[in-house]
Amino acid sequence: MHPDVLSLMQKHHRTGSSLPPTTLGELARRFGNSLGLQLRSMPIALRIDKQIYEQHPELRPLQQQSLDLQLQENMQSLSPRATELAPPEIIRPNASMNAAFAKFFAGLWNSPIVFAPYVAAGYGDVADRLLAHFDRLGDQPQQDRELVLAWAQELGLDGWFTTRDR
């Protein structure tokens, strides 16, 4: 995927960029690696966080405190700076996964305001589709690989990432 992301970054920063061209390779590597890490961990994190929420109500205040920080950090994907730094092919899947994450916790906590910025930015439908995969596949670890693959296909990332047996 690195050559593809680098090419996208070069096109995105062709004119009027405030970034030196020498930084694009490293930035492309970081964006690609981050997107891969997000894809392989976020759907699984939803399952684990749901289990913690359901099985350990005494941890809910700590869980919410931790997740509030992550939700705030995830909002950066909607910022003008993000679209300045990265092309839509990177921003869309990142913000889409963040939207699914926000919608999931908005429902769990009965707090729709958590998801509202993503709806306003146009990510409501894709969040619904990603969470539909989560609902369809259940919350068993045996389904993690299938869940990650379903998200990759939904986001158009399946050409960049593959899974392999251990």
108-159 pLDDT, tens digit each: 999 999 999 999 999 999 999 999 998 998 778 889 999 999 999 999 999 8
Q: Which of 78, 60, 135, 67 is nearest to 101 (CA)?
A: 67
Domain residue extents for the chain: 40-155
User: What is the identity of the amino acid at 157?
Assistant: L
Q: Supply the DSSP symbol for 156.
A: T
User: Is the distance from CB of 28 to CB of 5 less than 8 angstroms?
Assistant: yes
DSSP letters for 27-61: HHHHHHHHHHHHHHHHHHHHHHHHHHHHH-GGGHH
Whether 166 has a pLDDT exceeding 70, the answer reads no
12-69 pLDDT, tens digit each: 888 766 777 778 888 899 999 999 999 999 999 999 999 999 999 999 999 999 999 9
Whole-angstrom distance, CA of residue 35 vs CA of residue 47: 19
Residue with tokens 């994450």: 101
User: Is the distance from CB of 71 to CB of 105 less than 8 angstroms?
Assistant: yes
CA distances in angstroms from 50 to 39, 45, 57, 154, listed in the order given: 18, 8, 11, 22
Listed as own residue / partner, the contacts of 60-65 with beta carbons closer than 8 Å and 24 or more positions apart are: 64/109
User: Is the distance from CB of 77 to CB of 98 less than 8 angstroms?
Assistant: yes
Average predicted confidence (pLDDT) for the chain: 91
The answer to pTM > 0.75 is yes
132-146 pLDDT, tens digit each: 998 998 778 889 999
